[in-house]
Amino acid sequence: MAGTSVFAELVDEDATVFKFYSDGEWKRSSSGKFVSIINPTTRKTSYKVQACTQEEVNKIIESAKTAQKSWAKTPLWKRAELLHKAAAILKEHRAPIAECLVKEIAKPAKDAVTEVVRSGDLVSYCAEEGVRILGEGKFLVSDSFPGNERTRYCLTSKIPLGVVLAIPPFNYPVNLAVSKIAPALIAGNSLVLKPPTQGAVAALHMVHCFHLAGFPKGLIGCVTGKGSEIGDFLTMHPGVNCISFTGGDTGIAISKKAGMVPLQMELGGKDACIILEDADLDLAAANIVKGGFSYSYKWYHLLLSMQWSEVHSCEGCPHHGIESSANFIEGLVMDAKQKGATFCQEYKREGNLIWPLLLDNVQPDMRIAWEEPFGPVLPVIRINSIEEAIHHSNASNFGLQGSIFTRDINKAILISDAMETGTVQINSAPARGPDHFPFQGLKESGIGSQGITNSINMMTKIKSTVINLPTPSYAMG
């Protein structure tokens, strides 16, 4: 159970308020204030976390700065060893962490366990990859550039950035936290985590697994509280040397406010799925259901016929969101209704629960054509040509992923090259992973690239050491 056995020190005596992690210890905030985490299913408070103060943020960053200096001097194999240990502990304690995910974000129990196990695997893979890529540098000689003799040797290596700030979103609060934590640590950085409110307790449990693995005091800090109170303070903090963020539009605002630090931004998307006439329609339908509805929290059963116009039935699958997101989704649906979209099912909402809905004949003047509902509402735009499909896809401000369904690989490649998205899936729904695949958004969907290798590289800088020789020295030959 959450907050018990090895996790008992995370929680207050009354077992409801979780502490934050600073300088290797679990602490109560001096604010005396808490942030409640509402269970989206029961709409009751599941947990409370500390509302940390700016002074507490300062202290965490200061400790992270100090700890990073000696961590960077820790041999790479030792850093990897600790990460492997943390990964094993994380996987061992998957049950209580998964329980938090169920209560905080209404993730189905099986998916919640998968998220934790996948996170452990990510941490181990990152340790292995780090040992290889950080153990290599470059050797360059000067005479390859015009006008130079071979009098200079340049040795390059990868050095850490310092303090990395990690901000994951609510939908994968563990996986998208470790995808930032592990690369940062293997590369010799320290790490400050600001988890999302919904998902904070799962993240605190995950951080405790790193604590149990024996990472040095202060190297990892985890601060909880309201984004509106400590968010800007964190992202504009002069002690932060890199920000790795996953979320929505908040990331655009952060990018504008952040100082001269490397940014890794993984933001919203509006992934177009282009289905050509020759597509395997069963495959396309199954993947569209998966891509459009799989994060609708509950099991679903949606039968799509071979023709969009003949959607037979759609049952179950309510979307357990928070009230503001349910209202936002409803706004998109009503706008589409007013402008003439065809409803393939009756729109159904009870409280925060929204049932899956397929909207046909969506037109470019409807908000749902462009805005991300982040809920179980799927718009269908009928197209007459490949060019029209590419046009609609590229007209989006987003550029995260896209899908193409066709049996003609030559056409698929041409369309893929024309799509302005970071990833294109041929004959599958948009997916993030496996976690070592590069993953990136174009336009308003992000800055930089992720995936284990890219994240490690992104969280380092190149350092050159140049050896200047008094006379040219050429290799024997």
Ligand X SMILES: NC(=O)c1ccc[n+]([C@@H]2O[C@H](COP(=O)([O-])OP(=O)(O)OC[C@H]3O[C@@H](n4cnc5c(N)ncnc54)[C@H](O)[C@@H]3O)[C@@H](O)[C@H]2O)c1
The residues that touch ligand X, with contacts defined as CB under 6 A, are: 167-172, 196-197, 227, 231-232, 235, 246-248, 250, 254, 266-269, 372, 374, 400, 432, 441
Residue nearest ligand X, Cβ-based: 231
Residues 452 and 123 sit within 8 Å (Cβ to Cβ): no
Helical H segments across 214-245, by residue range: 232-235
Which CB sits closer to ligand X, 119 or 246?
A: 246
Dist. CA 343–CA 366, nearest whole Å? 14
Give the shortest CB-66-to-ligand X separation in angstroms: 24
C-alpha distances in angstroms, 471 versus 142, 151, 264? 12, 6, 44
Dist. CA 415–CA 402, nearest whole Å? 10
Give the shortest CB-4-to-ligand X separation in angstroms: 26
Q: What is the DSSP letter of 341?
A: P
Q: Catalytic residue at 149?
A: no
Which CB sits closer to ligand X, 158 or 271?
A: 271
Which CB sits closer to ligand X, 86 or 254?
A: 254
Which CB sits closer to ligand X, 197 or 361?
A: 197
Counted residue by residue, the chain has a size of 477
Contacts of 348 (CB under 8 A, 6+ apart): 354, 355, 357
Residues 255 and 266 sit within 8 Å (Cβ to Cβ): no
Give me the catalytic one of 99, 104, 115, 266.
266
Which CB sits closer to ligand X, 254 or 344?
A: 254
Give the shortest CB-307-to-ligand X separation in angstroms: 30
Give the shortest CB-302-to-ligand X separation in angstroms: 21
For the CA atoms of the chain, what is the radius of gyration?
Answer: 24
Q: Cis peptide before 434, with omega less than 30 degrees from 0?
A: yes
C-alpha distances in angstroms, 420 versus 38, 154, 196? 38, 37, 29
How many CA atoms within 13 Å lie on the side-chain side of 371?
Answer: 16
Give the shortest CB-276-to-ligand X separation in angstroms: 26
Give the shortest CB-220-to-ligand X separation in angstroms: 17
C-alpha distances in angstroms, 320 versus 182, 325, 354, 359, 452? 31, 10, 7, 20, 31
Which CB sits closer to ligand X, 67 or 203?
A: 203
Residues annotated as part of the active site: 266
